A and B are shown apart, each in its own frame.
Chain A
Amino acid sequence: MTTTVARVSGLTKRYGDFTAVDGVDFTLEENRIYGLLGRNGAGKTTIMQLLTGQLFPNGGEIEVFGRTPAEHADVLRRLCFIAESQRYPEDFAPRHVFTAAPWFFENWDQEFADRLIADFRLPLKRPIKKLSRGQLSAVGVIVGLASRAPLTFFDEPYLGLDAVARHIFYDRLLEDFAAHPRTIVLSTHLIDEVANLLEHIILIDQGRILLDRDAEEVRGSATTIAGARAAVEQFVADRPVIGREGLGGLASVTIDGRLDHAERVRAAELGLELAPVSLQQLIVHLTGADLAASIEQEAAA
């Protein structure tokens, strides 16, 4: 049986006329890795700030470890959230951050932190203001991993990190997650690299949830069918189309839904090409403007 660590319902956050989070419902279960995905400005950071009590909602309910997070010390000490745009005290260097961290995170593992500092080659004495974007991200990643908080949020954790550093992050995250299971929420708009790390996906667009499903269910849940326009259109006739592109007599249509064996055979018999849709492509289709745009193009053509 799984335990729910966080539950939100009807969660809403407005900034003046702008609704950043619009009546969102979801739950987070214990010991899972979640992907909070969506385009920039979709509301990912706002949701994490609400869950960690940094922001106050305009409507709806938030329950983290059984109660409202804001101003409740016994909830907050089980959370870790270093925002992508985190501000640090004036004149702080990374060493100050790591000195203070054990006072705030009861599961803090100093040895693990030291190892990560070496892995990321983080200069401990350089003022935070003078760190590169990647080094700044490394500070957040190290705090997030070594704090071992029961509910940890990584907000765009690898901005500015190079490929080597990103893979260090993935490897250390999986290793440590296996040894010390906990709930992790990873927010990102760069999806392909982390897709395999995620157990569950929550896709946000314009403050609303578009998708809330297990990653394995999402993988391969969409297919692109390409070929002669007439044949493609016939094949997709009563299926949910999420993307459409065309060039002359050729068309390439993405549908939401898996094809069974018989359908694959039928597609082959019609001379159609079937291509898998990666999680990233699927999300581009679901959150992009390409659908509306391509329909207009078609109408114009």
Chain B
Amino acid sequence: MDDSRPIFIQIAEQLENDIIDGTLPEGSQIPSINEFAAFLRVNPATALKGVGRLVDDGFVEKRRGIGMFVTVGARDRLIQRRRAEFSAQYLRPLLVEADKLGIDVDDLAGMLAALRSERTAS
């Protein structure tokens, strides 16, 4: 947990990441609010608010008396949403810094390609 952003948003993001990377597959049950609160040492109301965001967005559904489950199609929709945010969240700051250092877009593309092949090699 970092201090700069509300905890419930961080909880929601963590859950989203778990759904995207398959830790929580579609149709699987997620921990209860009280389990979240105890595990993360946060107020249950905060945990509820975090999980509530995924419920509101339809990534998680409540089944009365049983628990909460990842909905079918949640992963694809999450990936789509993350892609839409990618430019603003990562590329814009990258460009700001690149401009400061005089790196043009072609150089940037070359650097990214080199980094990608390095990563796949290792």
Direct contact of A and B (CB under 8 A): yes
State the majority secondary structure of interface residues on A.
helix
Give complex CA distance A261, B85 in Å: 12
State the majority secondary structure of interface residues on B.
helix
Of the candidates B3, B34, B43, B93, which one forms a contact with A199 in the assembled complex, judged by CB atoms under 8 Å apart? Answer: B43
Nearest-Cβ distance from residue B69 to partner chain A, whole angstroms: 21
Of the candidates B7, B33, B38, which one forms a contact with A219 in the assembled complex, judged by CB atoms under 8 Å apart? Answer: B7
- Interface-lining segment among B17-25, B44-52, B59-67, B107-115: B44-52
Nearest-Cβ distance from residue A177 to partner chain B, whole angstroms: 7
B2 x A174 contact (CB < 8 A): no
Residues of chain A contacted by B45 (CB below 8 angstroms): 32, 199
B44 x A219 contact (CB < 8 A): no
Per-residue B-contact encoding for A137-180, CB less than 8 Å = 1, 0 else:
00000000000000000000000000000010011001101110
In the complex, residue of chain A having the shortest beta-carbon distance to the beta carbon of B32: A178
Of the candidates B8, B37, B43, which one forms a contact with A198 in the assembled complex, judged by CB atoms under 8 Å apart? Answer: B43
A-B contact count (CB 8 A): 70
In the complex, residue of chain A having the shortest beta-carbon distance to the beta carbon of B45: A199
From known contacts A174-B41, A196-B1, A276-B2, infer whether A216 and B8 are also in contact, taking CB-CB under 8 Å: yes
Residues of chain B contacted by A279 (CB below 8 angstroms): 3
From known contacts A219-B6, A268-B96, A276-B3, infer whether A178 and B34 are also in contact, taking CB-CB under 8 Å: yes
Residues of chain A contacted by B4 (CB below 8 angstroms): 220, 223, 275-277
Of the candidates B3, B7, B37, which one forms a contact with A216 in the assembled complex, judged by CB atoms under 8 Å apart? Answer: B7
Interface residues on A, range: 20 to 34
B88 x A261 contact (CB < 8 A): yes
Give complex CA distance A276, B7 in Å: 13
Residues of chain B contacted by A220 (CB below 8 angstroms): 3-6
Which residues from chain B sit less than 8 Å from chain A, CB to CB? 1-8, 33-34, 37-38, 40-46, 49, 88, 92-93, 96-97, 100
